[in-house]
Structure formats: C-alpha cells, structure tokens
Amino acid sequence: MAVIYEKVALIGLGLIASSLAWGMKRGGLAGEITGYARSAETRDIAREIDMCTVCDSACEAVQDADLVILCVPVGAMDSVMAEIAPSLRPGATLSDVGSVKRAVISAVSPHVPDGVHFIPAHPLAGTEHSGPRSGFAELFDNRWCIIVPPEGADRQKVEELASFWRALGSNVDEMDADHHDLVLAVTSHTPHLIAYTMVGVADDLGRVTDSEIIKYSAAGFRDFTRIAASDPTMWRDVFLTNKDATLEILGRFTEELFALQRAIRRGDGEHLHDYFTHTRAIRRGIIEAGQDTAAPNFGRTTGGKT
Amino acid sequence: MAVIYEKVALIGLGLIASSLAWGMKRGGLAGEITGYARSAETRDIAREIDMCTVCDSACEAVQDADLVILCVPVGAMDSVMAEIAPSLRPGATLSDVGSVKRAVISAVSPHVPDGVHFIPAHPLAGTEHSGPRSGFAELFDNRWCIIVPPEGADRQKVEELASFWRALGSNVDEMDADHHDLVLAVTSHTPHLIAYTMVGVADDLGRVTDSEIIKYSAAGFRDFTRIAASDPTMWRDVFLTNKDATLEILGRFTEELFALQRAIRRGDGEHLHDYFTHTRAIRRGIIEAGQDTAAPNFGRTTGGKT
Ligand SMILES: NC(=O)c1ccc[n+]([C@@H]2O[C@H](COP(=O)([O-])OP(=O)(O)OC[C@H]3O[C@@H](n4cnc5c(N)ncnc54)[C@H](OP(=O)(O)O)[C@@H]3O)[C@@H](O)[C@H]2O)c1
Ligand SMILES: NC(=O)c1ccc[n+]([C@@H]2O[C@H](COP(=O)([O-])OP(=O)(O)OC[C@H]3O[C@@H](n4cnc5c(N)ncnc54)[C@H](OP(=O)(O)O)[C@@H]3O)[C@@H](O)[C@H]2O)c1
C-alpha cells in the first residue's frame, strides 16, 4: 500500500495509538510517525517497543505533521488541544479517536486554527487493556470506524481520512455527532455501565464469597467482568460527556427491566418466553453481518488476538 | 479410563445431554448409553449423529440403568420424572443437570422410589446453542460441576457421581440447594436477564436501526447478544423457578445502577472512577483462577470450540 500521510503524529500513546502505529507500519501508510504521552514512563515504554519517534513535547510531535490524531481520554482533549494548537501546520488534518463525539467537538473546535481541517473519528474497536504495550496492528481489521465530518468540511480531506482508516483494515461510515452518541450509548456505553454495575453487585454480596464468584464465573458473568475491566478514566469520561444519551437509554433499560421483573414475580412465563425469543433474532443478524462467529464461546478455554 | 456406570440413560437429548454422551465416549466412562427425547425429530437427529442408543420411550431408556440423568428444562423435570419413576431400578443413581436446584428437588423428590439415590447436580458449562447437534466432548473440561446431595445421601453414591464428573473433565464442588441458587443468581441468572433486557431495548429504539446496532455491536454489545441468544424455554424456566434469589439480586442491581445513574447526572466523576477501579480487581481474580485468559477478546474475528 502507498503512503497516505507523509507525517502522522499521535498524541497519547495508549492502546489505540499503539494499534494505530502498528497498523500504519503494517500497511506502510505513513512516511514518519511521531508521538507524545504526558508521562515519561509511557514515553519510555513507547521508545522501548519502537512504536514511533517519541518526542519530548506534544508541540514537537505535531510539528509539520500532515495528520494529527488525538488519542487521549475524552476529558483530556480540551487541554491537549489548547497546548498543540499553535504548532499545527496549515493544511494539516486533525482527528481524534474519542468514544464520544459531540463533547470532543465542543472541546476541540474552539482551538482549531484557520486552515487546519478538524475531522473527528471513532474506531469501534478496543479491548479491556490499556497502555502502549496492549496495541496490535489487527485491532481495526473488519471493525467500523465512524467519521463525523463537521458541516462544510473539505470533502477531499474527509475522503483522505476515510481511505486511511480503510487502509488500516476498517470499514468506514459517516454520521453526525448526535446520532453517533446515541448509537454508541446503545451499543457500547450503557452495556458497559450495566456490566460495571453487575460486577459491583456481585462483589458486594456478603453471602457469596469473591472466590465463589470467580470460580463460577463461566456461567455468564465472565463476559461482564471482561467489559468491566476496561480503563476507569476512559469510561468515567465517556459517561460524563455522553450524559444525555446514556441517561435516556438507561431510562428505557430500567423500564424494560421492571417489566421483566414483574413478569418473574407474577410467574408470567409467556411474557418471558416471548421476550427471550425476540432477542435471539438480533444475534443471528450479528453473525450474518460478520461481526462475530456462531462458534460457541462460553466454553472457551483459550483466547487470542485474532 | 475405566467404566464408572455400566449403563447410563439420558432423558432429554439437547446440548447438555449430547455433550455428556460425547464426553462419556471420550473417556470410556459408560458401558452403554441410552437416551430419549420427547420429539421424534430430536430422536432422529440423535440416531443420525450416533450419539447413543435412542429408545422410543423414556421408560425403555431408563430400564436397568445405573445412572439416569435428567437433561430437560427445569420446568419439565416434574412430568418427566413422574413418567420414568416406575421404571427406575433399585440401587440406581438418579441425577439431573438443571440450572436451578431447589425447584428441581421439590419437583423430583416426591417421585423418587425407595432404593433410588437422587443426587442433583449442575454443570456450570454451556453455550448459547441448543439441541443434540450442538454438543461436544470438551464442554465440561475445566468447568465446575456443583453437586447438591440431599441430607442423608449415600456418600459412596455421591463420590461415584463426583468421580464421573471429574472423569468428564470437570472440577467438582458440593453445596446446598439454596446457596447454589443464590450463587447462580449472581453469576448467571441475573446477568442473563440483564443481557436479554439490554438487547430488547436496543431493538426497540426507533431512532437507531437494527442494522446500525448489528454493525456496531463490536463496541461492547456483542457479548450481550451472545448471552441473550440462549434458549428461551430454558431461561423462562430458570427465572420462574429461581424467582426469589433472582429478584433479590435484581433489587441490589437496580439500587447500584441508580447510584451510578445519579453520579452521571450530577457529573460526579470521582464516584464513577472509584466504582470502575474496584470492579477491575474481580476480573484479575478470574484470570488468575484460570476461568478465562487475559488475551483481548473484543477484537476477535474468529472463534472456536477450544
Ligand atoms: N479502549 C477502547 O476500547 C477504545 C475504543 C475506541 C476509542 N477509544 C478512545 O481512545 C482514546 C484513548 O483510549 P486508549 O484505550 O488508547 O487509552 P489508554 O491506553 O489508557 O491511553 C491513553 C493515553 O492518553 C494519555 N492521557 C491520559 N490522560 C491524559 C491527560 N489528562 N492529559 C494528557 N494525556 C493523557 C495517557 O498518557 P499516560 O500513559 O502518560 O498517562 C495515554 O498515553 C479515548 O478517547 C477513548 O475514548 C478507546
Ligand atoms: N445450555 C446451557 O447453557 C446449560 C448449562 C447448564 C445446565 N443447563 C440445564 O440443562 C438442561 C438442558 O438444557 P440444554 O441446554 O441441553 O437444552 P436443549 O438443548 O434445549 O435440550 C433440551 C431437551 O429437553 C427436551 N425437552 C424440552 N422440553 C421438554 C418437556 N416439556 N418435556 C420433555 N422433554 C422436554 C427437549 O426435547 P425436544 O428436542 O424433543 O424438544 C430436548 O431434548 C436444562 O435444565 C438447563 O437448565 C443448561
């Protein structure tokens, strides 16, 4: 594949940034990759694993970059952007990978200098691990990346960013920020909050010991714990910044949950059976869409990056 | 390995029964395996895949059996047991694999003839698939099987059943029925209900299309859909028969969820961060206990039976 951006700068050097670096190297998509993280420790690790040219300041990293990608938690976008804004070169594309889009746009837009093209994006790919060592080139393969171009965005720059994500292995969709935030509240943010809650309840129950919960997790709970092992800072920021959509979906969720709870209390088996039959169809759709396989996964004893 | 029971009868020929049949064959644990399912279709499939000697009635299947295992949904245990009771041979062990134990004991015990040893059990292993074709010998490997011996049970018969489950690849624990039902309400039943609910909410949301939900499921929702694809009849019976424990855990869950919801509404990032940090530890415990691996799994593109 050919170089798409001569110089790419990554601000933040965690899971997503390191996966980007390895993915760019795999595809030969960037002439040069620079990067910066706030802590010396993270910068040292990034140097050690030879992820990119690690700079000693964010401004140095973005100097002359054709593409700058903000890879920090959503709540840190504002301050990071304020710092690098004066060093961005006119004509550059500025993007991010934040899990929430309306809040990132509000935080970043005011700082964007004239001539810099701000085109937010969100790759729907991640793991429950974080930090520079957790990244891998295949993370984005066959996953979706949602690009959220602001009104009046330069179409050529948008297309260029889309082709970059495709070259990283992703499928690309475009959406407006509010719709993105609602879709993600349903498919990601609320499920994460629920998983965190359930794991917290399990831990808090005096009559069942932690070791029992851990031993018997294979019965369904294990997937919840994987979700609930995700980075606390990232997720705090997601809920604080996608508040309205998350609260809306949570409201719906508790409404439905109460209806099922009442059916259990009353012994209304038909209601339960109908509900459970209905939800099976969605699973079939996901398998058909290639987002998962039909192979039974609860009984798995091994896992892998592929 | 040596034969543990000369003749084993499986009543119900679905996922668990077929996994038992393949597991017994793998280990050479039974001299002969017979089986019965209520529908001719299931019996025909079981014959076609050569899972066991399929009989034309449940009574025929259990004739002279040394071990009879009830592998039907919890709500069907009563009628199945009433049917086979007269055909059980004195000295035989009678067990089951039902996901709830107190209710199965109440349903089955009254029918147990003198001289038959009823020792309930529950293998904590399954997948979201059902029917005879979905079973595989490895399902129970490294999983737990909880045996729930009634008061005054014959210790030798209990030990024999435990060695049978160990020979199938499982670890064995003993517990009383009420504690089993509470532990499972936490680690399995409530998580399933929550997953079903979330998938239902997603499907019901007019402003987000089904195809969007399916496309973007990799962001966390996918694991919920896998859980929510499980058999509706089995799960209806679980909730109807483990009502009290499920409702208790659900009550705790909504309490916690409301606290997190309030934290989001108020912008209390510290509360969220603390909660999310705490839940990470449980995940680590599960990985250390060997119930899962640390390999990132959200990004998986393939799956398998191993
Ligand atoms: N993980 C996922 O599943 C996933 C998926 C899609 C999108 N995202 C989004 O991707 C972004 C990065 O996530 P990640 O998983 O790569 O996180 P990560 O592995 O935890 O890395 C975060 C990086 O941001 C830096 N950082 C954190 N707080 C900062 C602050 N206040 N100021 C400046 N830098 C700060 C960290 O620096 P130090 O290491 O020096 O602390 C680290 O280099 C987030 O916006 C997240 O919403 C995540
Ligand atoms: N799946 C899991 O994850 C899992 C894990 C641990 C324990 N369990 C327990 O294992 C038991 C069996 O589950 P499974 O997953 O093997 O289910 P399955 O694949 O759906 O098979 C159920 C079997 O029971 C028969 N059956 C259903 N309703 C019946 C009725 N009213 N009367 C007589 N027979 C009936 C079915 O016969 P037809 O095919 O002829 O309809 C089928 O052969 C349940 O008690 C469940 O709680 C399940």
Given a cut of 50, is residue B297 above it in pLDDT? no
pLDDT at A285: 80
Chain B residues lying within 8 Å of A136, measured CB to CB: 296, 299
Model confidence band, residue B207 (pLDDT cutoffs 50, 70, 90): confident
For residues A147 and A154, what is the distance between their CA atoms, to the nearest angstrom?
Answer: 13
Cβ–Cβ < 8 Å for A69, A93: no
Cβ–Cβ < 8 Å for B269, A232: no
pLDDT at A205: 86
Given a cut of 90, is residue A289 above it in pLDDT? no
pLDDT digits (tens, 9 = 90+) for B152-173: 999 999 999 999 999 999 999 9
pLDDT at A90: 97
Instruction: Kindly state the DSSP code that residue B151 receives in the 8-state scheme.
Output: T
Cβ–Cβ < 8 Å for B181, B242: yes
pLDDT at A217: 84
Given a cut of 50, is residue A299 above it in pLDDT? no
Chain A residues lying within 8 Å of B76, measured CB to CB: none
Nearest CB among B125, B218, B284 relative to A124 is that of B218
Structure tokens at B266: 């108020």
pLDDT at A305: 30
Among the residue ranges A68-72, A194-198, B218-222, B289-293, the one predicted with the least confidence is: B289-293
Structure tokens at B200: 């239902």
Give the count of beta carbons closer than 10 Å to the beta carbon of residue B94: 26
pLDDT at B295: 65
Q: How far is B38 from chain A (nearest CA, A)?
A: 20
A215 and B141 within 8 Å at the Cβ level: the answer is: no
Structure tokens at A249: 């979906």
pLDDT at A187: 94
Pick the more confident residue, A301 or A208: A208
Structural domains present in chain A: 5-175 (3.40.50.720), 179-288 (1.10.3660.10)
Given a cut of 70, is residue A46 above it in pLDDT? yes
Model confidence band, residue A214 (pLDDT cutoffs 50, 70, 90): confident
Among the residue ranges A119-133, A241-255, B174-188, B197-211, the one predicted with the least confidence is: B197-211
**Residue at token pair 């980075």:** A231
For residues A274 and A272, what is the distance between their CA atoms, to the nearest angstrom?
Answer: 6
pLDDT at A9: 98
Given a cut of 60, is residue B298 above it in pLDDT? no
Regarding an ipTM greater than 0.85, the answer is yes
pLDDT at A109: 98
Rounded to the nearest angstrom, the distance between the alpha carbon of B55 and the centre of ligand 2 is: 17
pLDDT digits (tens, 9 = 90+) for A11-38: 999 999 999 999 999 999 999 999 999 9
Model confidence band, residue A296 (pLDDT cutoffs 50, 70, 90): low
Nearest CB among A253, A272, A286 relative to B198 is that of A253
For residues B10 and B29, what is the distance between their CA atoms, to the nearest angstrom?
Answer: 14
Chain B residues lying within 8 Å of A75, measured CB to CB: 269
For residues A77 and A79, what is the distance between their CA atoms, to the nearest angstrom?
Answer: 6
A127 and B279 within 8 Å at the Cβ level: the answer is: no
A216 and B269 within 8 Å at the Cβ level: the answer is: no
For residues A14 and A136, what is the distance between their CA atoms, to the nearest angstrom?
Answer: 11
Model confidence band, residue A304 (pLDDT cutoffs 50, 70, 90): very low
Chain B residues lying within 8 Å of A212, measured CB to CB: 183, 187
Chain B residues lying within 8 Å of A144, measured CB to CB: 215-216, 218
**Looking at the CA of A13, which ligand is closest?**
1
User: Among B55, B99, B170, B192, which is best to mutate for testing ligand 2, by the most ligand atoms less than 8 A from CB?
Assistant: B99
For residues B21 and B263, what is the distance between their CA atoms, to the nearest angstrom?
Answer: 51
Model confidence band, residue B1 (pLDDT cutoffs 50, 70, 90): low
Query: H helices within chain B, ranges in order?
Result: 15-27, 40-48, 58-62, 77-84, 102-108, 155-167, 177-184, 190-204, 210-215, 221-227, 232-241, 243-266, 269-288
pLDDT digits (tens, 9 = 90+) for B211-247: 888 888 877 888 898 888 899 999 999 999 999 999 9
A232 and B138 within 8 Å at the Cβ level: the answer is: no
Model confidence band, residue B89 (pLDDT cutoffs 50, 70, 90): very high
Given a cut of 50, is residue A303 above it in pLDDT? no
A95 sits in which H/E element? strand A93-96
pLDDT digits (tens, 9 = 90+) for B100-132: 999 999 999 999 999 999 999 999 998 889 999
Alpha carbon nearest to ligand 2 atom 9, residue: B98
Given a cut of 50, is residue B3 above it in pLDDT? yes
Model confidence band, residue A45 (pLDDT cutoffs 50, 70, 90): very high
pLDDT digits (tens, 9 = 90+) for B38-66: 999 999 999 999 999 999 999 999 999 99
B257 and A254 within 8 Å at the Cβ level: the answer is: yes
Among the residue ranges A168-182, B201-215, B244-258, the one predicted with the least confidence is: B201-215
- CA dihedral defined by A8, A10, A15, A19, rounded to 10 degrees? 0
The residues near A218 (Cβ < 8 Å, ≥ 6 apart) are: A298, A299, B124, B125, B143, B144, B291, B292
Straight-line distance from the first to the last Cα atom of chain A, in angstroms, rounded to the nearest whole number: 22
Percent of chain A past pLDDT 70, that is, above it, reads 95
Give chain B's mean pLDDT.
93
Given a cut of 50, is residue A142 above it in pLDDT? yes
Model confidence band, residue A85 (pLDDT cutoffs 50, 70, 90): very high
Model confidence band, residue B296 (pLDDT cutoffs 50, 70, 90): low
Q: How far is B306 from chain A (nearest CA, A)?
A: 5
pLDDT at A114: 97
Give chain A's mean pLDDT.
93
Among the residue ranges A167-171, A206-210, B141-145, B229-233, the one predicted with the least confidence is: A206-210
Rounded to the nearest angstrom, the distance between the alpha carbon of B17 and the centre of ligand 2 is: 8
Is ligand 2 within 6 A of the CB of residue B37?
yes
pLDDT digits (tens, 9 = 90+) for B7-20: 999 999 999 999 99
Residue B303, judged by CB atoms within 10 A of its CB (0-12, 13-18, 19+), counts as middle
Q: Of all atoms in ligand 1, which is nearest to the CA of residue A124?
A: 6
Q: Of all atoms in ligand 1, which is nearest to the CA of residue A100?
A: 47
B193 and A295 within 8 Å at the Cβ level: the answer is: no
* pLDDT (mean) for A188-217: 90
